[in-house]
Amino acid sequence: MSATSPAGYIGRSVPRREDRRLLLGQGAYVADLVLPGMVHAAFARSQLAHARIASIDLARAASEPGVAFAMSGAELAREMPPIGGMQVTAPKGWAERVEHSIDLPPQNLMASDRVRYVGEAFAVVCAASRYAAEDAIEAIDVEFEPLPAVVDPERAKEGEILHPDIGGNAVAALHVEKGDVARAMESAPHRIRRRFRHHRYAAMPLECRGVAAEYDRRTDSLTVWSSTQVVHWVRKELAHALGMAEEKIRVLAPDVGGGFGGKGHVYPEDLIIPFLARRIGRPVRWVEDRHEHILNAAHSRDNVHEAEIGFDDEGRILAFRDRFVVDSGAYSPVGAGVAYNTTAHLLGPYDIENFSGTTEMVVTNKTPNAPYRGAGRPEATQVTERLMDIVADALGLEPAEVRLRNMIGPDRMPYAVGLPYRDGVEMVYDSGDYPASLNRAIEEVGGIEAFRARQIEARAEGRWLGLGLGCYTEGTGVGPFEGATVKVDASGKIVVATGACPIGQGHETVFAQVTADAWKVPIEDVVVLLADTSTLTMGYGSIASRSTVTSSMAIGDASDKVKAKVLAVAAHLLEASEADLELADGRVAVKGVAEMSVTLREIAAAAAPGWLSRRPEGSEAGLEATSYYEPPTVTWAYASNAAIVEIEPDTGRVRIERYVEVHDAGRLVNPGLADGQVKGGLVQGLGGALYESIEYDDHGQLLTGSFADYLLPTAAETPPIEVVHMETPTPLNALGVKGLGEGGAIAPPVVIANAVSDALRPFGVEFNTLPIRWQDVRAAFDAAG
């Protein structure tokens, strides 16, 4: 199929491109980077959850063999401000509708007066090797005065105050509602209350974090390599912290071995390593090891919900109220966005007129909490989808039937939810067929009637089967903006640069497909530049299931501007009207007269500045344009999930027989990459359901500091997974695309909880706390005799 066929490249599973290994010139990852005179950094990290730093002496450490520099957090605080984070002014529409009180603590780049979690850095050493730097860390003389640790988020307000300047451990409160929840709840024929806990776990990418930096004294410029999802944000924070012009700082992300949101904000190390490179005049590199990652890279989830639901005899939901506490850890690097994201997604695909959501964020002596794939949505989906099953059980109905009776039908699209999204715009589900999605998921696992017959037969044989369902909606493609520069270079190639930062999703391929279709050229004639601040003045980054939507639209807008220039120059060269020209196969030709044409290379030469230029008089030189796409609001993806499990009574092991997700992310640019994205997310979600959990003891000590204790699902634990893609184009952008990067991870925790609860329904057992541990499953059998 040629690039000029009606189908083009969009919608095809084009093989992945590997364009980005040229960025470093000598290696693919930060850990591969070697620069002349480079030193290696290591951080002294607290072994106490909460303590005052009584004294610190770096003299012995600084005199260790190979040490080039040593610095304490207190010294650094005198030279560098706290990290900025995302505590910015709330969007007007959101601030007007959501009652809120937000007073988040600033985070020093290293602890200066007290440490607030195990793993918080309080000193840094640079040496000839990582080993020498770590040896020198052991020579630091430091005395701590232990303070009581605050570990339980529900009792945080009663504990030792972590940040005295704030005056308490409650740092944010949010409340939003629609309808008359109190009246509807009071008059509801049935009411149910439940407590839910979504535990703490985190992104565990193959590659841990890493930062390297080189300072050029001659030009007073910095080059920074970081395994980040947000190169422009890193540059912005660096420019502020170091008092440098942004144009003097180049930040690039080389090949990044996974991020999943865990690399989606600016960390202290992103600023400290460049500071050190400038301070000591030598390149500096820091690469995180796995224990350091589990200890110090952002954790996520960790909510406790008290939810109440009112419903009638038919299972229709009349009122829904949820109050929950978010354990933010010692700081909150991205503000209250994730907490509100949970509230915004609680209603899911259901038509519920009366709703109230109340959130409290507290700080504890744990690693800071920030987004991980799903970012607040898995927590919301757990609450809503468990309640759907509990309502069905109370009325003796099938869980699927309760969902279908409450679902928004396709005839009601677009559907106004009645709440503001975090961008300040009223939430409106733009497109889709939620009931068809759920029915298809049920069909793919064999149908409910057939399963119930199997379940009865299995119980007679002493086998315990369960069916779990889970549905959700997902706001994707959020702003505030994304940028793209498109140009036709002297060779006639189309060169595209955007602010997106690939972390394994296949951005190079997808954006090449979008560009090739826009220009009607072979995909080989497209060059894609990503994750490099030197190629684009302003960008935002790859977070929040947004890159395909925002970057593709920016590429399209910039392409339109450049194509207008191309046609103007071509018309001048061909002495024809622009209306009579067409662009295809790297040429501009007169319609119907193929021999009257000029190539993009010839047009680029004609558009160049100088005395050889042959562009129209008064036109601008060059074939280049930059656009910044500012989405009016989010596009709404959604999915329905179904899983069948079998439980082993003797061991409590949950074996997943089959897992299906029916997912709608609008028009798919590359179905193969989309399929892989969703399946990868599903496996991560299953890890959150059954295996992964970050645990602390009562003193704030991390108990799961390695993969010996923090369990990840492997290929052996991955069940047969089927993903069905329903493609309902969104009307909100020209391509009809929605985001899908986070989707797969959202539903599996509650789907498995529902399936296990369904299997053990004869025992009256509910699994409302995650993860589902074999001990808890086994205890249900023991209690039942």
Using pLDDT thresholds of 50, 70 and 90, give the confidence band for residue 87: low
Give the SS3 label for residue 99.
Answer: strand
pLDDT digits (tens, 9 = 90+) for 335-382: 999 999 999 999 999 999 999 999 999 999 999 999 999 999 999 999
CA angle 9, 512, 537 (to 5 degrees): 150
Share of the chain above pLDDT 70, in %: 97
Sign of the torsion formed by the C-alpha atoms of 153, 155, 157 and 162: negative
Q: Per-residue pLDDT for 244 more than 90?
A: yes
Nearest to 540 by CA among 554, 526, 527: 554
Helices (H), 57-148: 59-62, 73-77, 92-97, 130-137
- Tell me the average pLDDT across 245-272: 96
CA distance 451 to 288: 47
Residue 7 has pLDDT above 90, yes or no: no
CA 695 to chain centre: 22
Contacts of 564 (CB under 8 A, 6+ apart): none
Residue 52 pairs in a beta bridge with: 114, 145
Q: Is pLDDT of 25 > 90?
A: no
- d(Cα 202, Cα 371) in Å, to the nearest integer? 9
pLDDT score of 89: 64
Q: How far is CA 457 from the centre of its chain?
A: 43
Cα–Cα distance, 339 to 355 (Å, whole number): 17
Rounded mean pLDDT, 186-197: 98
Coil, strand or helix at 758 = helix
Residues 301 and 640: their CA atoms lie apart, in Å, by 21
What pLDDT does residue 84 have? Answer: 72
Residue whose entry in the numeric block shows the structure tokens 């939430």:
427
Cα 701 from Cα 355, distance rounded (Å): 38
Dump pLDDT digits (tens) for 130-167.
999 999 999 999 999 999 999 999 999 999 999 999 88
The order of strands in the sheet holding 300-311 is 99-102, 170-178, 355-362, 317-327, 300-311, 190-201
Tokens at 464, concatenated:
């315990």
Which DSSP category does 343 fall into? Answer: H
Residues 6+ apart with CB under 8 A from 675: 723, 725
Question: Is residue 116 over pLDDT 70?
Answer: yes
Query: What is the residue type of 101?
Result: S
Q: Is the pLDDT score of 21 beyond 50?
A: no
pLDDT given at position 5: 36
- Over the stretch 279-289, which tens digit does the pLDDT of each residue have? 999 999 999 99
Residue 550 pLDDT > 90: yes
Burial 662-699 (b: 16+ CB within 10 A, else e): bbbbbbbbbeebbbbbbbbbbbbbbbbbbbbbbebeee
CA distances from 691 to 341, 677, 749 (A): 24, 21, 10
User: What is the C-alpha to C-alpha distance for residues 488 and 494, in angstroms, rounded to an integer?
Assistant: 5
* 17, two tokens: 């491109």
Work out the mean pLDDT of the chain and round it to a whole number: 94
pLDDT band at 403 (very low <50, low <70, confident <90, very high): very high
Which of 80-89, 242-251, 270-279, 675-684 is the least confident region? 80-89
Task: Tell me: pLDDT of 26 over 50.
Answer: no
pLDDT, residue 524, reads 94
531: left (phi over 0), alpha (psi -120 to 50) or beta: left
Question: Cβ(229)–Cβ(501) under 8 Å?
Answer: yes
CB 419 within 8 A of CB 630: no
Under the banding of pLDDT at 50, 70 and 90, the label for residue 15 is: confident
> Which tens digits make up the pLDDT trace of 101-114?
999 999 999 999 99
Q: Give the DSSP H/E element, type plus range, for residue 330.
A: none
Of residues 200 and 4, more confidence is placed in 200
Pairing between β-strand 624-629 and β-strand 482-488 as defined by DSSP bridges: antiparallel
pLDDT confidence band for 552 (50 / 70 / 90): very high
Q: Rounded to an integer, what distance in angstroms lies between the CA atom of residue 118 and that of residue 44?
A: 11
Expressed in percent and rounded to 5, the helix, strand and coil fractions of the chain are 30, 25, 40
Whether pLDDT at 393 is above 90: yes
User: What is the b/e burial string over 437-463, where b = at least 16 CB atoms within 10 angstroms of the residue's CB?
Assistant: bbbbbbebbeebeebeeebeeeeeeee
Identify the band that residue 1 occupies on the pLDDT scale cut at 50, 70 and 90.
very low
pLDDT digit string (tens) for 299-318?
Answer: 999 999 999 999 999 999 99
